[in-house]
């Protein structure tokens, strides 16, 4: 039976939400009731941090009424009602209200949790331009005389230097600012992030005009990326006064440069927007970004208070899962990615040729995906350099495992691209080698590697003969899994595909076929290459068909890439990766059909192969980095080749036993 998975402890997520209540301007009792209804809904959903709009207890558009004692006293009473009600919820509640402190009026965010006020954060930047006139009423946080205020007989921390950490997930640190604070060059949330805040909350009453929502969205996404944080933005809704302006209730939640959730605007009924923030991912990125740790010396110290916000079950995950993290789901964005990657491959290969003062390329073509992509990049590079494509010397080297389909596709593609093609049957040479070894011809690892190594030897020698470079063909997925022969196809002068994952190789070839070679004989060949099973063809065919399927050994490539991305890019624990893979399976997001047992088996296989094959990556040739995941030993990935994988396998098994 599946055991409950803890959102914080087991997965490193924090559940945050934003809500836009239906309020009445200056009707505090009504507004508090509306807020508390949403608090109950959020509590039922396991929300840990809930943000409401600026001045939501009174309404933002009260104008001069904000200076009325009756309203100010009532606002404090309304806040106290929320504080008392919060005792029933393990949740950090952020509400906006006007507050008089030291004979000055401040536009504030109150941080409420479990029956107490943890702190009051006043607004720093006070807008008084165009439709805004807040200087008439409010002082800036910079003008505060005290770092505490008194409410209902209690001393409460007061100031813009307040952060809140979540009990049980210490890297989940909440920073809060108010509206205009987001829009300025040196925003309070930037200092909060440098002080450790991983979740940045902006409660706002930004009105809606044409184009403003686009700018808010851009800011939320870009600021979350710049700060390596999550950013939650919530704004006042349509129930505010519309005397001269209109409010749309725009709500956005972004994480490290990616928009997670967004509400519809200008709707009377506003949904409760919930997102599970990957705190572990944010903490990992900050550990990697050493420049992020170089904080300016003038950063003022922050006060950090702890909030017991519970730890909800992950039975429902409020987060989209990308089953193919290397491949954009949007066709237009995917085409843009393909264009950029192909262009980077061409530009880097051109520089390699120019730098080496060479003009010829030698390449082995098999009729498979990887060598096809490398050949396409080589052909485009010759065009880029103004050199004839006949400077490419392609070789197809059939042996024991070669089928007529792949061989014919290799030859046909080379002819269609106007490159040199030479067929050299290496069967007799490999047989002679086995004879020298005293090998009986059984299909074991020696049988396979003899073919792969001799092909590489022949191609290296051919490159020497022609005064050219040998172009490698292996991709990122195969590099991670060690699915190559050491000192065989593992080696070349330059690996043009080395950081392109297998799931993206297919799309790149299809993009070239449709965009670069549409209507040519090469396009038809490329379509057949795309339909050919993935295989190194190192075992004898069965009735003329490919007998050795790569995915039967290394696993489905879509799973391999799903595991590879979070493992390398995010430093994610295997147990968490398995949980997310299982969520994707339950949501039917994968192209293949898998059981939990399949996911576990192939993730275990991934871990074993990744650790066992570091020795190949340590000495692999140069190649262009085209994405955020690379395994170059000179750039992105360094690890000892004799490291133990036991710790990672143990983490995987613990989660697997809980999910079963």
Active site residues: 54, 123, 179
Of 480, 199, 509, nearest to 380 by C-alpha is 509
**Alpha-carbon separation of residue 489 from 474, 492, 650 (angstroms):** 7, 7, 33
SS3 content of the chain, % helix, strand, coil (to 5): 45, 20, 40
CB-based contacts of 99, cutoff 8 Å, min separation 6: 72, 75, 76, 105, 106, 108, 110, 120, 122, 149
Residue that the structure tokens 């949403």 belong to? 38
Q: Is 520 left (phi over 0), alpha (psi -120 to 50) or beta?
A: beta
Distances from the Cα of 320 to the Cαs of 18, 69, 277, 531, 583, in angstroms? 17, 47, 11, 30, 10
CA distance 270 to 551: 47
The conformational region for residue 467 under phi > 0 = left, psi -120 to 50 = alpha, else beta, is left
Which residues, at least 6 apart from 571, have a Cβ–Cβ distance to it below 8 Å? 280, 284
Distance, CA of 421 to CA of 525 (rounded, Å):
15
State how far the Cα of 271 lies from the Cα of 487, in Å rounded to an integer. 58
- Alpha-carbon torsion, ordered 408, 339, 623, 562, to 10 deg: -90
d(CA 602, CA 599): 5
What is the distance between the alpha carbons of residues 535 and 489, in angstroms, rounded to a whole number? Answer: 13
Q: Are 119 and 161 in contact (CB under 8 A)?
A: no
Buried b (16+ CB within 10 A) or exposed e, 538-551: bbebeeeebbbebb
CA distance 13 to 283: 11
> β-strand 469-472 against 494-495: which pairing, if any?
parallel
């Amino acid at each position: 039976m599946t055991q409950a998975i803890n959102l914080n402890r087991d997965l490193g997520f924090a559940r945050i939400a934003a809500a836009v209540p239906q309020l009445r301007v200056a009707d505090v009792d009504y507004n508090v009731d509306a807020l508390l209804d949403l608090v109950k809904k959020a509590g039922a959903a396991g929300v840990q941090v809930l943000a409401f709009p600026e001045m939501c207890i009174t309404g933002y558009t009260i104008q001069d009424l904000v200076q009325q004692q009756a309203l100010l006293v009532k606002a404090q009473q309304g806040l106290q009602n929320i504080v008392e009600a919060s005792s029933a919820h393990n949740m950090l509640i952020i509400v906006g209200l006007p507050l008089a402190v030291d004979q000055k009026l401040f536009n504030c965010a109150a941080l409420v949790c479990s029956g107490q006020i943890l702190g009051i954060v006043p607004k720093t930047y006070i807008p008084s331009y165009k439709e805004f006139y807040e200087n008439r009423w409010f002082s800036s946080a910079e003008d505060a005389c005290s770092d505490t205020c008194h409410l209902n007989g209690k001393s409460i921390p007061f100031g813009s230097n307040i952060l809140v950490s979540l009990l049980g997930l210490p890297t989940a640190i909440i920073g809060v600012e108010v509206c205009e604070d987001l829009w300025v060059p040196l925003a309070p949330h930037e200092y909060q992030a440098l002080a450790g805040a991983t979740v940045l909350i902006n409660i706002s009453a930004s009105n809606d005009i044409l184009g403003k929502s686009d700018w808010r969205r851009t800011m939320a996404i870009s600021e979350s990326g710049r700060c390596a944080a999550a950013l939650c933005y919530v704004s006042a809704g349509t129930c505010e006064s519309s005397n001269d302006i209109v409010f749309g209730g725009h709500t956005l939640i972004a994480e490290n440069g990616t928009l997670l959730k967004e509400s519809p605007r200008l709707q009377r009924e506003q949904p409760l927007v919930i997102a599970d923030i990957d705190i572990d991912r944010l903490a990992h990125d900050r550990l990697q970004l050493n420049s992020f740790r170089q904080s300016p010396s003038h950063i003022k110290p922050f006060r950090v208070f702890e909030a017991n916000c519970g730890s909800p079950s992950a039975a429902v995950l409020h987060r989209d899962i990308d089953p193919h993290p290397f491949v954009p789901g949007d066709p237009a964005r995917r085409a843009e990615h393909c264009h950029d990657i192909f262009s980077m491959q061409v530009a880097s290969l051109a520089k390699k040729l120019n730098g080496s003062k060479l003009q010829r390329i030698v390449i082995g073509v098999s009729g498979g995906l990887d060598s096809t992509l490398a050949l396409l990049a080589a052909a485009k590079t010759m065009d880029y350099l103004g050199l004839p494509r006949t400077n490419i010397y392609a070789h197809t080297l059939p042996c024991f495992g070669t089928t007529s389909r792949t061989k014919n596709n290799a030859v046909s593609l080379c002819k269609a691209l106007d490159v040199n093609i030479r067929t050299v049957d290496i069967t007799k040479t490999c047989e002679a080698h086995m004879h020298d070894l005293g090998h009986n011809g059984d299909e074991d690892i020696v049988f396979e590697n003899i073919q792969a190594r001799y092909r590489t030897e022949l191609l290296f020698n051919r490159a020497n003969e022609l005064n050219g470079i040998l172009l490698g063909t292996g991709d990122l997925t195969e590099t991670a899994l060690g699915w190559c022969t050491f000192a065989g196809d593992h080696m070349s002068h330059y690996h043009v595909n080395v950081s392109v994952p297998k799931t993206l190789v297919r799309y790149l070839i299809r993009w070239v076929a449709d965009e670069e070679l549409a209507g040519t004989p090469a396009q038809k060949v490329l379509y057949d290459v795309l339909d050919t099973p993935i295989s190194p063809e190192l075992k004898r065919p069965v009735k003329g068909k490919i007998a050795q399927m790569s995915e039967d050994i290394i696993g489905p490539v879509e799973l391999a890439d799903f595991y590879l991305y979070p493992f390398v890019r995010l430093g994610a624990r295997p147990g968490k990766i398995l949980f997310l893979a299982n969520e994707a399976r339950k949501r039917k997001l994968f192209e293949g059909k898998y059981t939990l047992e399949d996911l576990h088996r192939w993730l275990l296989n991934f871990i074993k192969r990744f650790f066992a094959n570091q020795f190949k990556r340590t000495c692999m040739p140069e190649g262009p980095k085209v994405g955020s995941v690379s395994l170059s030993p000179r750039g992105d990935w360094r690890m000892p080749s004799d490291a133990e994988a036991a710790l990672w396998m143990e983490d995987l098994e613990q989660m697997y036993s809980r999910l079963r």
